[in-house]
Structure 1
């Protein structure tokens, strides 16, 4: 299925708040975002193609379509590779986050503690909680996961005023 990639114009009184409506978003090939992400990471079309399991000409074609979609060069030749433009750097974080959100919702993309590099922050508010969090830490260490926990103690004293 071929999709037209020209970005439709958005009519608005406030250009800084312009968003694509649903029909306009349908005109965009969202698969190009995975190509953008790979090219940003590899900074080389051939290596990005290999990482994606695509041919080099297919990735070059996708990059050309991305340039039209974002109305920017996105990448310029630099030595034996390419260098992202300022606009590409600006887009990278948002594109990466959007792709990760979609990936997290796909079947089979559940949380994998063994491969996760997340850091969890635990706030311990009572001495009893300290005992429980020690057990959590021991369990995480025994699992040899990539998880990391940061523990904070925030004991709160409660004063009850009684009138006799």
Structure 2
């Protein structure tokens, strides 16, 4: 294949079909008809000598060749756009769509207020939220299918960048009227009352020390400091009773209602869950490590003006949330 025969517009078609996995959606993104997208895809197939995408149901699935060439190709397109200055960004006029990986806790406390802010300053910008708990998170960032991930990461590979958003400790949430609700919690309470805890992956998914490592990216799997809890209860001589472990934080209120269970959750989530509800929050009777929430993205997006703008909007939102924690 000669590079002199390559129409760069065909590469934009590849990008759109690869990321949308649908010819109609790719056409809408490129302002082209489905027929025009199909024609461009046929030309690209002839140029590369591979089918690139196979129709499956109503979608398009990339071949092995397409999957192999996608990371370098998407990276090159970003660099060309940045070098030529063809990707200006105006929030109030933009119709870009950003894909963010986040769990339901982060969606509640960060993405929701971010969405409200975007409605005012960038009404045409759309957000797509993907679960940050998926085991192929690093791969999806590498392939450009996720623009940015928000979470707690113990390790970030050199091909990715990270920005600190906020730090927070843990609080305990319980029902109003709980036997321990009218006094300061003690270690005896944690030994006596069973717990609801958050975990999005255990040893069966490869978690070690509360983190899952994939392609050099280590993301938190347990949303509480298990080691601090267990060490604290050694004094009481009773291990903690983790009666219910769930992957979804917004299920906690339903689990706690009508029970004497306690739940150890990140402070920002505790504030959100107890706001105007029948739940209350209390401080831990022991010291737990503060966790740092970070945004992670691929270095190819460092100089993307729209991406940089989104990162700043997220950082500003997180700072507001952190300030409210006191």
- TM-score if structure 2 supplies the norm length? 0.28
Report how far residue 144 of structure 1 moved: 5.0
Task: Tell me which of 14, 37, 52 is aligned to 1:74.
Answer: 52
**2 CA distance for matches of 1:108 and 1:58?**
22
Cα gap change, 1:39/1:111 in structure 2, threshold over 3 Å: closer, same or farther? closer
- 2:83 aligned partner: 105
Number of aligned residue pairs: give it.
104
Task: Tell me which of 9, 18, 23 is aligned to 1:40.
Answer: 18
Report how far residue 146 of structure 1 moved: 3.7
Report how far residue 120 of structure 1 moved: 5.1
- Contact residue 119 and residue 147 of structure 1 kept, 8 A: no
Cα gap change, 1:147/1:102 in structure 2, threshold over 3 Å: closer, same or farther? farther
- TM-score if structure 1 supplies the norm length? 0.54
Instruction: Say yes or no: does 1:119 pair with 2:162.
Output: yes
Structure having the larger proportion of residues in strand: 2
- 1:26 aligned partner: 4
Report the aligned-residue RMSD: 3.1
Report how far residue 81 of structure 1 moved: 1.1
- Contact residue 38 and residue 48 of structure 1 kept, 8 A: yes
| CA displacement 1:67-112 (0-9 Å, x = unmatched) | 1111101111101111110111011111100010011123375799
Runs of 4+ off more than 6 Å? none
- 1:93 aligned partner: 71
More relative contact order, 1 or 2 (CA 8 Å, 6+ apart): 2
Cα gap change, 1:67/1:144 in structure 2, threshold over 3 Å: closer, same or farther? closer
**1 CA distance for matches of 2:7 and 2:70?**
17
| CA displacement 1:96-144 (0-9 Å, x = unmatched) | 00010011123375799xxx965259xxxxxxxxxxxxxxxxxxxxx95
